[in-house]
Structure 1
Amino acid sequence: MAGRSGRRGFGRVRKLPSGRWQASYVAPDLVRLNAPLTFLTKGDAEGWLGLERQRIILGEWKRPEPPAPPPSVVTFSDYSASWVATRGIKPKTREGYEHLLTRYLLPTFGEQPLAAVNPADVRAWWGSMDPSTPTVRARSYALLKAVLNTALSDDLIASNPCRIRGASNTTRAREVRPATVEEITTIVDAMPERYRALVLLGAWCALRLGELLELRRGDVDVRAGTVRVERAVSQVRGRPVIGTPKSSAGTRTVAIPPHVLPSIVEHLDSFTARGKDSLLFPGADGTSSLQPSTLYKPWRAAREAAGRPDLRLHDLRHTGATMAAMAGATLAELQQRLGHSSVNAALRYQHAAQGRDRQIADALSRMTQSRE
C-alpha cells in the first residue's frame, strides 16, 4: 500500500505513491537523512541503508554536501544589458546600442535563454526585418552577433547562431552627391553670418558636426593656418556630452585652405569671445554648446537656395573628403585629414579622384605647351 513504512533496526523504508521506495535514517548528528534518490525495489532501498550503516560503524560517515543549486537560466535580455553596460564605449554609442536592442532585438530574443537561440531563430528574425532600412538591419545583426560572440567566449553557448553571410554589411541606402564649389558658396552666403564659418570648416576641412560644435578659439592657429581637433560633442538623450573624437585617429591637426582662412579670422573677431576656451559656435547663452537643431532651419533655407534640398549637414564632410581626393590626396593623407582609424574608411572617397582623369590629361598638354 502506498505510504506504508517499514520500521527496521536501522533506518526506515517507505513505498511512495509512484511505486518507488524511499530510504532514510537518523544520522550520527541526530538529523534524519534521506537517500539522494528513490529505489525501484524495497531490497534496493534496504541495500543502501546497509551500506550507510557500515560507513557509520567504520567511522567513515560524513554528512553529504547539499547539492549545488541548478544554474540560473541567463536570458538574452539580461546578458545583453550587462554586455552594453561593461563595454568601454562612448555614451552616444551606448545610446545607439540600447536603441537597437530595445527596438529590434529584445522583442524577439529578450526572454529567450541564450543557449536556446538557434540559427533558425536568427534567420527568421532577419527575414522579418524591413529590407528598406538596410543600415538599421545590418547594425542590429552586427550587435546581435557581437553579444553572442562574447557569450561564446564566456562558455554560455556552444556556438554562435549568427551565420548569415554578409548580414553585417550594407550599401548606402542613399547615395551622397557632394556639393560643388559653387553650391558651397551659395549655401555660405545664404546662412546667417555667425554660422558661415561652420559651413566653410565642414566643407573644406571635412570636420564632423560634433567636432565643429566643440571647436574653441585656442584650437585655431591663424598663423599656421590650422585647426586642432581634440574634442567632440554629442547629444545623448537630448543633453550635450563632451568627449574625445569618434576614434583615436580623430584627434588631429587639419590645415585650413588659404582661401577659407580670412573668413575664419573674421568669424573669430566678430562672433567668438576672447578666451582661448571660448566656443567658436556657442549656443544662445554664449557659453554652452550649440544645439544641432538650431542649425536645421537656416540650413534648409540655404540648401534650397543652392538647389540642393537633398544635402544634409553631415554631407559637408563627405564633400570635403571628396574634394581632398580630387586634389590628389593619397589614402594615407585622406585617412589623416579625416581622422579615420583605417584606410578602408578613406577608400570610399578615392572613387572621386577618377573624375580627375580629364584634368590630368589637360595638365599633360599644358606641360608640352610650356616647352614650346
Structure 2
Amino acid sequence: MVRGKGRKNRTPGTFGSVDKLPSGLFRAQYYGPDGRRYKAPTLFLAQQDARSWLSVVHSEIIRKAWQPPDMVVAENIKLTFREYAEQWIKTRDLADRTREDYQDWLDAHILPVLGDYPIGSIEENDIRVWYGKLNAETPTLRARVYGLCSTIFNTALADKKVPVHQNPCKIKGAGSVTRAKVIRPATLAELEVIVTTLPPRFKLMALFATWCALRFGELTELRRRDIDLVRRRIYIRRGVVRLKSKERGVAVRKVKEPKSDAGSRDVSIPPHLIPAVEDHLRDHVGPGRNALIFPSMTDENEHLAPSTFSRHWYNACRAAGRWVEAADDDPDSTDHADLTLHDLRHTGAVLAALTGATLKELMERLGHSTPGAAMRYQHAANDRDTAIAVALSKFVEPERDIEGMSNDRAKSRPPRRSRSNGSSPRRRPKI
C-alpha cells in the first residue's frame, strides 16, 4: 500500500478525523482551541470507538472545560467546598481584618449549607436555594457573603487541580447592593454644636474628620511627627485597625499602612484650624515626636478605643439634633445617632466640592484610588439647589428689565414735533 493512501477517513461536518493505520487500528486526532493538533493517547480497535472519543473531547471544548492533554491532572472529585474554602482562606493574601470577616462569613453563612458538598457537584440551582435562605433584611452582608462565595468558585475554576468547570454563582446583581443608609451631611451649624459639646480633647477629632476628611483609624494613629504646622500639612502614612481577636479580654489593635497608595497622602490643613491645632498639641499631646494626637484617656501610649469616643459623640449628636428616638411601633428599633464621625467626611467633601475642587483633587484629599469611591461622597448642599435656581433666573432678568425699561420710556416720551418745513424726522438706523 502506498504510504498515506486510504488512511484519511474524515467525514465532512464532523469534529476531528479518524485515520486507519496499516496495522488495522484507528487513530483519532483533532485541532484544539489553541490551534494545535492533538492525538488520542491510545489507538482504537474500531472506528466508532475513535469517533466516540472525539465526541467527548468536542463536548469538553463546547463546555469550555477542555485542557491541553499535557495539562490534564487527576481531579479529586471528593474535594468538598469546606476543604477548598479553608485552604483558600489560608493561602490568600488578605488584611487581618478582612481575613477575620471572611472566616466569620464562611462559618456563619456558607459552610453550614454548602460545606459538605463536593465542590465540583455544586450547581446553579444549589446556589439559588442557598442564597434565598440568606437574610434579606441585611442586604449589604448578604451581597458580601455571596461575593465571597463567587470569588472562591472563580479561584477554583482557574485551579486546574480542582474539578470545577464553571462558576455556579450566576444570580444577576446578587453581589452588589444599593446603599441602604442615605447619609445627610452635617451642616456648619450642626458641626458647630457638635464641636462645642464634645470634650476639649475630642474637638479637634471632629474638625479634622470634617475639614481634612480623615478616618477614625487615621485619626487615632496620628502622632506629633505627622503634623507640620509650618507647611500646614498632615502626613497620613498609617492607620490603626481594631481586630475581632482579643488578648486578655481586650480587642487587638494593629497599626498598618493604608490599603492603597492613594490612602498614603498629605492633607493641607485649612488656615482657620491652625489655632485649634496649636491649642490641642499644647494641652492634650505629649512632648515626644511619637506622642499620639488622640490617645487613650487612661494611657497616653495606647490608642483611643471607639467605645470611649462614642459615648461623647452620642451626647454631641443629641445636642445637634442628629438623634433618632426608637419607634413605638417597632420593638427592634433603638435610640441612635443618625450621624457618625465617618459621615463628617461627607460634609468635608461637600465643602471641598463647593470650592470648585475637581474629582481628581477630591480623590487625593479623601484618599481614594477610584473615582467611584470618591463619588459616593458627593452630595448637594442644602442651599445649593436654591442658589442654582436663582442663578438661572439671572439669565432672563436683564432681558426683561431692558424690555420693561423700553416700554416705560416709550410711555413717558413726549410726541415728536414735526420740523418747521413739514418734513418728518429722520429715522434712526436699526442696530
Q: How does 1:147-162 map to 2 (within 5 A)?
A: 147-155=152-160, 156=162, 157-162=164-169
Uncovered stretches (5+) of structure 2, i.e. residues with no partner: 1-72, 245-250, 324-337, 399-431
Q: Is the 8 A contact 1:133 1:173 kept in 2?
A: no
Matches within 5 A, 1:1-372: 71=76, 73-155=78-160, 156=162, 157-237=164-244, 238-283=251-296, 284-309=298-323, 310-352=338-380, 356=384, 358-359=386-387
Structure 2 counterpart of 1:328, one-letter code: G
Change (3 A) 1:289 1:105: same
Q: 1:104 to 1:221 in 2, by over 3 A?
A: same
Query: Given the two structures, how large is their TM-score scaled by the length of structure 1?
Result: 0.76
Contact residue 197 and residue 315 of structure 2 kept, 8 A: yes
Q: Secondary structure at the match of 1:240?
A: strand
- Cα distance change, pair 218–362 in 1 and its aligned pair in 2 (3 A): farther
Distance 2:382 2:371 in 1: 18
Residue pair 1:331, 1:350 contacting (<8 A) in 2 also: no
Unmatched tracts of structure 1, length 5 or more: 1-67
1:271 Cα deviation after fit: 0.6
Distance of 2:110 and 2:354 partners within structure 1: 42
Structure 1 runs (4+) deviating above 3 angstroms are: 68-72, 353-365
* Cα separation, partners in 2 of 1:82 and 1:353, compared to 1, 3 Å: farther
Aligned residues of 1:282 and 1:290 also touching (Cα < 8 A):
yes
Deviates more, 1:105-114 or 1:313-322: 313-322
Aligned residues: 300
Give 1 or 2: higher helix fraction. 1
Q: TM-score, normalised by structure 2?
A: 0.66
Deviation at 1:361, TM superposition (A): 6.8
Give how far 1:362 is off. Answer: 6.3
Q: Which residue of 1 aligns with 2:419?
A: none
Amino acid aligned to 1:346:
A
Q: Is the 8 A contact 2:77 2:118 kept in 1?
A: no
Percent identity of equivalent pairs: 45
Distance change (3 Å), C-alpha of 1:70 and 1:259: closer
